[in-house]
Amino acid sequence: MRHFAAKRIWVLAASMLACSACVSTGSSVFGTGVHSSATAGNTTIASGQFGDEIAIQATIGRIKSNGDQNRLSSRAIRLPERHLGEIAVFDYQFPQRCGGHEFRVLEASETQILEYQFAANDGDTYMIRDYVSGPSPFVKAGLWSANDHTADSISTMTSQVAQSGDRMFSGAYSQGLVTGLPVAEQRALGAAYHQAVSDVYDCQGTRTLVGSAGE
């Protein structure tokens, strides 16, 4: 497992300097992309949503329509929750006019994951995985909700426990696994994902796909 030192977070922040400026302009369908932090149990997470659901769904649709499809054993890909049977995999690199971003869609049963390959300035590649749908009601499109993670940080994930407000059914319940990445790193990686999805959505052709989805 990679150890995330302060130097590493600084490199990520430098990598995202240009993207943060783009995100803050408000020129796309997204919000600011930078949010406050919140504490869940012993884990601090960056609250808010990095990535818009409409843009994410459009990105997934384009990947599945144009990407290379394969099927892998559930043992071939390590995920926070175990899946039985095979996982459908769709790989696609968008053209340079759309940012040249590399994405992958993973599907198993009711679970769908959008994975973004982010290359940082230090040469490392981060596999950022956004659980778009799944068996948990706390899974949703956009980082960082339940089960969202990077491929090499699964071992740092912890269960987020909340207190029920129902008088008849008082007690604690699990809202799923949450990332254990430092907040600064969550923001940097979230901003990278946010910008990549924004690039793809704003690219000519993806908006057409969104508009034709309901026809």
Rounded CA separation 100/203 (Å): 11
Confirm whether 1 is domain-assigned.
no
Domain range for 107: 6-212
Confirm whether 195 is domain-assigned.
yes
Closest alpha carbon to 182 in 46, 32, 25: 46
Confirm whether 165 is domain-assigned.
yes
Closest alpha carbon to 175 in 162, 158, 157, 156: 162
Residue 213 CB contacts under 8 Å (≥ 6 apart), including other chains: 58, 61
What is the number of domains present in the chain?
A: 1
Confirm whether 146 is domain-assigned.
yes
pLDDT tens string, the chain, 215 residues long: the values are 444 434 454 445 444 444 443 443 333 333 334 334 455 444 566 555 799 999 999 999 999 999 999 999 888 888 877 777 899 999 999 999 999 999 999 999 889 999 999 998 888 899 999 999 988 888 999 999 999 999 999 988 988 765 455 555 555 555 678 899 999 999 999 999 999 999 999 996 555 444 333 33
Please state whether beta strands 158-163 and 172-178 pair in parallel, antiparallel, or not at all (unpaired).
Answer: antiparallel
Maximum alpha-carbon separation in the chain = 56
The two three-digit tokens of residue 124, written as one number: 């490392």
Rounded CA separation 99/203 (Å): 8
CA 66 to chain centre: 20
The two three-digit tokens of residue 70, written as one number: 């394969």
> pTM here?
0.74
Closest alpha carbon to 136 in 114, 96, 109, 170: 109
Confirm whether 159 is domain-assigned.
yes
CA gyration radius, the chain: 17
